[in-house]
Amino acid sequence: MSSNCDRFAPLDTFARRHLGSDPADIAAMLRLLDQPSLETLADAAVPAPIRLARPLNLPAAAGESAALAELRAIAAQNQVCRSFIGQGYYDTLTPAVIQRNVLENPGWYTAYTPYQAEISQGRLEALLNFQTMICDLTGLEIANASMLDEGTAAAEAMMLCHRLKEGTAQVFFVSAACHPQTIDVVRTRAQPLGIEVVVGDHNTYEPAANLAGVLVQYPDTRGDICDFAGFFAKVHAAGAHCVVAADLLALTLLRPPGEFGADVAVGSAQRFGVPMGFGGPHAGYLATRDACKRQMPGRLVGVSKDVHGNPALRLALGTREQHIRREKATSNICTAQVLLAVMAAMYAVYHGPEGLRRIAQRVRSLTQLLARALAASGARVNTGPVFDTLTVTGVDAGSVLAAAAAAGMNLRFIDARTVGISLDETTTLDDVHALLSLFGRRERQRVENQPNEAANDPLAGARGHEGISPDRASIATSTSAWNLALGTSSLELGPWNLELENLPAPHARQSAFLTHPVFNSFHAEHEMLRYLKRLEARDLSLCHSMISLGSCTMKLNATTEMLPVTWPEFGRLHPFAPAEQTRGYQKLFLDLEAWLAEITGFAAVSLQPNAGSQGEYAGLLTIRAWHASRGESHRNICLIPTSAHGTNPASAAMGGFKVVPVACDAQGNIDVADLRAKAEAHAANLAALMVTYPSTHGVFEAAIKDLCAIIHQHGGQVYMDGANMNAQVGLTSPGFIGADVCHLNLHKTFAIPHGGGGPGVGPIAVAAHLAPFLPRHVGLAPEIPNPKSQTPKESTGAVSSAPHGSASILAISWLYIRMMGAEGLTAATQVAMLNANYVARRLEPYFPVVYKGAGGLVAHECILEFRPWKKHGVEVEDVAKRLMDYGYHAPTMSFPVPGTLMIEPTESESKRELDRFCDALISIHGEMQRVADGRWDKADNPLKHAPHTAGAVCADAWTHAYSRELAAFPDARTRASKFWPAVGRVDNVYGDRNLVCSCAGMDAYGEPAKP
């Protein structure tokens, strides 16, 4: 009988919702594996020497409502002020139809990266819209499907310039009027590669012979709009390339970079409807000229055709990427910012070119009005053309900012006598009035005789947010400068009666943009809603069925976890807001850092990297800095097993390391002898080993502790790729195993959804000796208490534009850990292993399991063999496509072993769903057998023609030897609920040969597929 206490305990416990199977089903699965309990299974699978002796020390699990209430209280410690800080981040009005139907919609946010194009046409179309929008606005020919943020996009552009000069040029010039955080990220990226970054004034810079490229900001960080045409001509004459960091909203009014000589444009799409979120996540962008397309970084969506000849989209030019090119890849980006790119593109679809121009004109009009009023009241502001940003000099910045904060407003602190003000689409006339009232006459008189240091300092704009002056006491307001400016005592005249100047030549935009029908058809909300739903319906997501992608961990993204993402207390904070307004975020970070440190067994955590790949890079930089601090900066060899994910060697190359591959043995383990030999051979220069654990082969290698010891013995550090952390949490940990640093993919193990290909969060955790070298950030307010992970003297530079990366989605992982508790998290690991072993055991009679560990068990994923079927004419790709007819997304195909499928069911799938999936694969096995037996034609069978579209099945003509019913409804489940692939099998080669990466020219685009 239960005690009274039990009777009153909350009932909305979460772990039982997160774990797919109930105890009875778990018992049934354990029986198949001959295991009495989850504990014995874990004991059998995980090598004893690495098992943790104690449970994780985390707060006890909270129920769903209690955890939400706790987070609400934390969020309430954030103060939402009107933000006029700018510097690349602006408040925005997310159209409600986009917020509800994209950002808050699991149909969009639980989809995976669109590798299986036939069931991803919706988000591929949205990304093609994004690319088209970027090309149109920048005036360049090709754009990718999102970068991680503006700073890293600028760093990637620098690398592109470097590649275009075939790596010979050593200098990259950056205008001092770029955003400070961009300069910070570019500097970090350049340092390990020996590229010299010269920061200065573009008006006086003379291109050197070894110049790779230049970066300027447009409009610049102080708000000025410069004409770069002459400067760019000089740069081109020196054989270098020109990069413009441009504001997308401004480009609706301004001459696009492609029209004044830019070779590359980069920036952020944040202000197109994506909340600031204290710095992220947002989509960055990169566009360039057609001639550079094979050198460009990141994912690229291209138009191709399907087997029926209909237009079909897919990821293009994949051979540039790290999956194929490894350390020679154009970048290490894997997870990007798809969901946010979709939102930004939809914002443009919703508003259309005219709507965007009106928004921009309104922002500019308000800015001009404010400039004029400030100037009339005696303040010193920009004198040339501006868009949305003003720099006010000759003021007591501390007083102005303090007065602003008291009135619920944040301005940008530039230096003691200079503030910045940026307006955005949320700005009202009342805001302008309130801003103006901060610059009263008394305040001006007090400072106007003091020397204006900022005016003489060309780098002032690049110094960034250096904290608020301690002199906050004197608040300056006396007379209404507004009245001075308007010559009236009331606002009734309104600013709209003022004559506002048009942009002068050559700045005004003359060219049309967003002329494609998609940007001119869906401005009514019904039309928009139906367009969004039409695209959503083309994509298979976790709303339909399990997505068992090995290495990707597509677990439940619980609704409760997702709720805070759109709370304004998280969404509307500027990343450089004063620390006293961001106490809630600070608490969230400290909690999460402490919990992740406990889970990984490490001493300190940095939340800054905004994808797994960026975590790898950041982790390697900490190793690099540590070696340097010991006078061993020559250590540059990074050992990487051949089974590693492509991002590992790509990140190592970015960090300035030389990659040396290590062999794997027949069991899928790292070949210890080969590792030892390589470590010995390179002992003098050994920097690190990158190792994934459990391995990408899906096994717990028994020798992992020995591997770490070998590396340490030879002076190296062990980097653990934490993508497979879902098999470690609560049972073992990278720190306990003996690694020195690891990254975590919060978008795998810690419940952040994949968003159709991003956002991700890739924090790194490090042992104590590496803590001083964690990334810092030029914009990190010194008041933020983060003693473990921010020690500015020794640490590496910024690896993301925002100090805390994709801050707003950290609440998802916070809730996941808070609601699971130590017990729930450990159970999740055990059940993930149970599910993988259950699937392996059920399917093994049909498809051999390639690698197994102790006791014939796998870890949390298993690799199934399909290579023997090739001789019968059945490729693993045929199986992947046929699974779509059964309503499933294929498991990971041909990674890490060609001709295999890697299945990771995760703990969140029920036995019922696992059985359905296994039944589908067993049924497909029967089909394969028919081909092998010769009962079905090798070329004309349901596997070869999969996936089958509704159009193909309903066509008047049906020429196949098998029935339409078998094609479309191969099992009972599909008859009850059918997901129709939108297009037939996509021709990848055709698309790469005839590369089209924007909407233009797709005549049949948007039409229903023909058979």
Ligand X SMILES: Cc1ncc(COP(=O)(O)O)c(C=O)c1O
Residues near ligand X (CB under 6 A) are 334-335, 551-552, 611-613, 645, 647, 692, 696, 721, 723, 745, 760, 762
> Can the peptide bond before residue 23 be classed as cis, meaning omega within 30 degrees of 0?
no
Helices (H), 475-518: 481-486
Partner residues linked to 305 by β-bridges:
311, 987
Nearer to ligand X, 461 or 759 (CB): 759
- Angle, in degrees to the nearest 10, between helices 429-436 and 338-376: 50
- What is the enclosing helix (H) or strand (E) of 810? helix 810-843
Nearer to ligand X, 560 or 726 (CB): 726
First to last CA, the chain: 64
Tokens linked to 178: 């770029």
- What is the enclosing helix (H) or strand (E) of 640? strand 637-641
Rounded to a whole number of angstroms, the minimum distance from the CB of residue 857 to ligand X is 20
Distance CA 145, CA 143 (A): 7
- Could you give phi then psi for residue 218, rounded to 5 degrees? -145, 110
Nearer to ligand X, 907 or 927 (CB): 907
- Could you give phi then psi for residue 216, rounded to 5 degrees? -130, 165
Nearer to ligand X, 169 or 611 (CB): 611
- Could you give phi then psi for residue 273, rounded to 5 degrees? 85, 5
Rounded to a whole number of angstroms, the minimum distance from the CB of residue 893 to ligand X is 13
Nearer to ligand X, 636 or 696 (CB): 696
Tokens linked to 412: 């940008």
Nearer to ligand X, 701 or 721 (CB): 721
Q: CA torsion 839→841→843→848, rounded to 10°?
A: 120
Nearer to ligand X, 762 or 947 (CB): 762
Question: Any idea what DSSP says for residue 938?
Answer: S
Largest CA distance in the chain: 95
Match 């993508």 to its residue by tokens: 723
Which amino acid would we find at residue 169?
A
Rounded to a whole number of angstroms, the minimum distance from the CB of residue 552 to ligand X is 5
Nearer to ligand X, 101 or 732 (CB): 732
Rounded to a whole number of angstroms, the minimum distance from the CB of residue 740 to ligand X is 17
CA separation (Å) from 903 to 7, 717, 728, 784, 892? 41, 31, 17, 42, 7
Nearer to ligand X, 398 or 762 (CB): 762
Rounded to a whole number of angstroms, the minimum distance from the CB of residue 724 to ligand X is 7
Tokens linked to 782: 């010194």
Rounded to a whole number of angstroms, the minimum distance from the CB of residue 364 to ligand X is 38
Distance CA 903, CA 837 (A): 10
Rounded to a whole number of angstroms, the minimum distance from the CB of residue 641 to ligand X is 11
Nearer to ligand X, 159 or 250 (CB): 159
Distance CA 534, CA 531 (A): 5
Nearer to ligand X, 405 or 810 (CB): 810
Which residues touch 408 (CB under 8 Å, ≥6 apart)?
A: 81, 82
Rounded to a whole number of angstroms, the minimum distance from the CB of residue 334 to ligand X is 3
Nearer to ligand X, 244 or 737 (CB): 737
Full DSSP string of 39-70: HHHHHHHS-GGG--SS----PPPPPHHHHHHH
Distance CA 819, CA 67 (A): 6
Rounded to a whole number of angstroms, the minimum distance from the CB of residue 326 to ligand X is 13
Rounded to a whole number of angstroms, the minimum distance from the CB of residue 902 to ligand X is 10
Tokens linked to 172: 């990259």
Nearer to ligand X, 432 or 611 (CB): 611
CB–CB of 120/114 below 8 Å? Answer: yes
Rounded to a whole number of angstroms, the minimum distance from the CB of residue 554 to ligand X is 11
Nearer to ligand X, 114 or 612 (CB): 612
Tokens linked to 724: 């497979």
Nearer to ligand X, 335 or 733 (CB): 335
- Side-chain half-sphere CA neighbours of 939 within 13 A: 1
Rounded to a whole number of angstroms, the minimum distance from the CB of residue 882 to ligand X is 24
Q: CA torsion 573→576→580→582, rounded to 10°?
A: 40
Tokens linked to 860: 């949390």
Rounded to a whole number of angstroms, the minimum distance from the CB of residue 232 to ligand X is 33
- 862-865/900-903 β-pairing: antiparallel
Give the residue among 155, 133, 900 at the shortest CA–CA distance from 144: 133
Task: Name the residue with the smallest CB distance to ligand X.
Answer: 612
The three-state secondary structure class of 348 is helix
Nearer to ligand X, 337 or 477 (CB): 337
Which residues touch 407 (CB under 8 Å, ≥6 apart)?
A: 434, 437, 438
Identify the sign of the CA torsion 103, 108, 110, 114. negative
Rounded to a whole number of angstroms, the minimum distance from the CB of residue 147 to ligand X is 13
Rounded to a whole number of angstroms, the minimum distance from the CB of residue 332 to ligand X is 7
Rounded to a whole number of angstroms, the minimum distance from the CB of residue 392 to ligand X is 41
Question: Any idea what DSSP says for residue 246?
Answer: E
- Could you give phi then psi for residue 761, rounded to 5 degrees? -140, 125
